[in-house]
Structure 1
């Protein structure tokens, strides 16, 4: 698969299909790889990507610090993911695109649309991640990682990363940079020797910046209420994808359609068809 250097970071991406461009921020939390659109949970069951790529140019990619994309040791916020998506569109020569996010990808879509409304033709927000339990789980994960680092050092994180295939979500000890530790030896060396006090500041700030509310993070509600971009909201239904998070977006976005169908009733027939109906109308 091709790669592009976006904001100084290598981004692995794939372009499939033909038609208007659709930039797709992957689901999967801190393992937001492009393959997740076809292999992860509900997305594997619904078969969204094959059907969408029949009428749209689908641009999927590994989020920075995920999959085979690179990373950088810094306090990461939603603006970091905005820069990656916008930079990838620039690299491919698209000045406007539809935006679609799955799970945590919805927050990046919202942040990008707020940062550059003229870029977004429309937004599909599929099973947005959010809710109080989601926030609590994320903060706990970062705290557990910092506890391991303080007890064992950053070199121990590098060694642990080499002995397992798990990610930050399944094993918080590994931290949010674990994919880059496995794929980039120079990054791993720099990580192992990084100052511990500075690292704690980065991680603590990252946790607070990314997960600052008990609903969908990524953009302020006042900015969403002023956003003149049509949206389709498809709710999730578990502790990480609270129905309240989807309803919050419905309340905030002035031009939003809410597909009021529970996850158990979302199928490979009706879900892709509903997304295509929305995209075709805009």
Structure 2
């Protein structure tokens, strides 16, 4: 896969298909890798990449701190993920694209549209992450990570990462930089030497700011309400993808269409054609 350096961080990406560009922000929480569009949960079943590349150039990439992309210890915000996507479009010399997000990728897509509305032809928000349980689970994951750092130190995180193949979602002790620790020995060395108190403050702020509401994390509702970008919202229905999260986006986005179909009826036949039709209508 080709790579590009954006803001000093390596991004691994690939292009699939031909047609108008579709920048796809992967599902998967803090393991948002390109392969999740084919291998993870509902996305494995609906097989979007069998259909969408027939009509679009799908831009797939590992989000920073995920997969083979790099990372940096800093207080991550949704804006950091937006800038990775913007930098990738700049690298590909694409001024305007459709955007699609799955799971927490919806928060990035909505944040991107608020920051750069002129660069967004339309957005597909598939099974947006959100809801009260999602906020509680996300905060608890960071608390468990910081408790482990308190007990074992950052060197202990590095040792655990090297002895395991789990990700942050499955084993919160590992923290959100686990893939970079595994892939980059230099980063792992710097991570282990990071000041523990500064790290605790940084991670506490990251968790509080990113998961600050019981709806959908990301842009403020007032910004969404002023957004003149067509959107298709597709609901999820579990503890991390509350149906209320999809309803919230539909309520806030003036040009949103809501595909009112239960998750079990979102299939490889129905979902790709619904998305493709929406994208074509807003070409």
Runs of 4+ in 1 over 4 A off after TM superposition: none
- What is aligned with 1:155? 155
Cα distance in 1, alignment partners of residues 279 and 198 from structure 2: 45
Report the alpha carbon displacement of residue 50 of structure 1 after superposing the two structures with TM: 2.0
| SS at structure 1 position matched to 2:159 | helix
Cα distance in 1, alignment partners of residues 51 and 217 from structure 2: 29
Residue correspondence of structure 1 range 221-240 to structure 2 within 5 A: 221-240=221-240
| SS at structure 1 position matched to 2:54 | coil
Cα distance in 1, alignment partners of residues 215 and 68 from structure 2: 29
1:103 matched to 2:103? The reply is: yes
Report the alpha carbon displacement of residue 12 of structure 1 after superposing the two structures with TM: 0.5
Cα distance in 1, alignment partners of residues 211 and 85 from structure 2: 20
1:80 matched to 2:87? The reply is: no
- What is aligned with 2:216? 216
Cα distance in 1, alignment partners of residues 274 and 7 from structure 2: 34
Gaps of 5+ in 1: none
- What is aligned with 1:126? 126
1:32 matched to 2:32? The reply is: yes
- What is aligned with 1:181? 181
| SS at structure 2 position matched to 1:53 | helix
1:241 matched to 2:259? The reply is: no
| SS at structure 1 position matched to 2:30 | helix
What value does the CA root-mean-square deviation take over the aligned residues? 0.4
Report the alpha carbon displacement of residue 209 of structure 1 after superposing the two structures with TM: 1.3
Query: What TM-score, normalized to structure 1?
Result: 1.00
| SS at structure 2 position matched to 1:245 | helix
Q: Deviations over 1:161-213 (max 9, x none)?
A: 00000000000000000000000000000000000000001100110111010
1:252 matched to 2:252? The reply is: yes
Q: Deviations over 1:66-100 (max 9, x none)?
A: 00000001000000000000000000110100000
1:201 matched to 2:206? The reply is: no
| SS at structure 2 position matched to 1:73 | coil
Cα distance in 2, alignment partners of residues 274 and 152 from structure 1: 49
| SS at structure 1 position matched to 2:207 | helix
Cα distance in 2, alignment partners of residues 50 and 188 from structure 1: 37
Cα distance in 1, alignment partners of residues 138 and 41 from structure 2: 20
Report the alpha carbon displacement of residue 7 of structure 1 after superposing the two structures with TM: 1.0
| SS at structure 2 position matched to 1:153 | helix
May I ask how many residue pairs the two structures share in their alignment? 282
- What is aligned with 1:12? 12
- What is aligned with 2:114? 114
- What is aligned with 1:190? 190
